[in-house]
Amino acid sequence: MIRVFVGFDPREAVAYHTFCQSVLERASLPVSFTPLALNALAGYRETHTDGSNAFIYSRFLTPYLCGFDGWALFADGDMICRADIAELWALRDPRHAVQVVQHDYQTKAAQKYLGNKNENYPRKNWSSVMLFNCDHPKHRLLTPEFLQRTTGKFLHRFEWLDDADIGALPRVWNWLTTEYEDNYDAKLLHYTLGTPCFKDYENAEMADEWHAARARSQSGMGV
């Protein structure tokens, strides 16, 4: 069973369902989905006011929600999967606490969806896809109580880990549309500036892929 935790924001609920559809269409192993809806996270209360989405902090609860046991994948909801998620799952490496696509870029846009600021910072977008080794001892501090009092800087820069604890994933598993050139061979497309469900991004780069996935989720026609 591939455990997938997905960022959920009610302002773009359709993005969550579209992403799950895109995963299920191609998965060769059973997949379980857990939406990180704040109302369903018992023991966690969002105390931060600096986030651009509802799951900006709760994503780091993934090891805790797994009982600090086994492996799990976190993914932002503003994505679609274009390959078998089992291929990503097969990249698990027990030498690392977490594995991510280690982006190194400067954003093309100072503003993203819903008027949110889009600032550059170290390890930007590393935390948008995380393959967690949940039973790694350094994750034990990632409890609801700790997350409620810590900063985004500490979490999104993985400051509770040493560099050697952070493994690298191929960039095709978190391809940043618009920020990167169009790539129809990418395995996971990330609409980080704005999901095409928003009017300002409905015709953005590679939006056709997202709209097609959304249509399939509504029609039940499959691939």
Using an 8 Å Cβ cutoff, are 41 and 58 in contact? yes
Global confidence as pTM: 0.92
Q: What angle do CA 109, 38, 100 make, to 5 degrees?
A: 50
**Residue 90 bridge partners (DSSP):** none
Using an 8 Å Cβ cutoff, are 16 and 24 in contact? no
**Residue 74 bridge partners (DSSP):** 5, 130
Residue 154 identity: F
Q: Report how far residue 164's alpha carbon sits from residue 31's, in angstroms, rounded to the nearest whole number.
A: 29
pLDDT at 51: 61
Q: Report how far residue 116's alpha carbon sits from residue 53's, in angstroms, rounded to the nearest whole number.
A: 9
Within 13 Å and on the Cβ side, how many CA atoms surround 76? 26
pLDDT digits (tens, 9 = 90+) for 5-47: 999 988 889 999 999 999 999 999 999 999 999 888 888 887 7
The first and second tokens of residue 124, run together, are: 């930007």
Question: Which domains are seen in the chain, by residue range?
Answer: 2-219 (3.90.550.10)
Ranking 112-116, 167-171, 212-216 by mean pLDDT, the lowest is 112-116
State yes or no: pLDDT of 204 exceeds 60: yes
Ranking 49-53, 81-85, 155-159 by mean pLDDT, the lowest is 49-53
pLDDT at 118: 67
pLDDT at 124: 92
**What 3-state DSSP class applies to 189?**
strand
pLDDT top residue among 76 and 218: 76
**Residue 98 bridge partners (DSSP):** 132, 166
Q: Report how far residue 187's alpha carbon sits from residue 22's, in angstroms, rounded to the nearest whole number.
A: 11
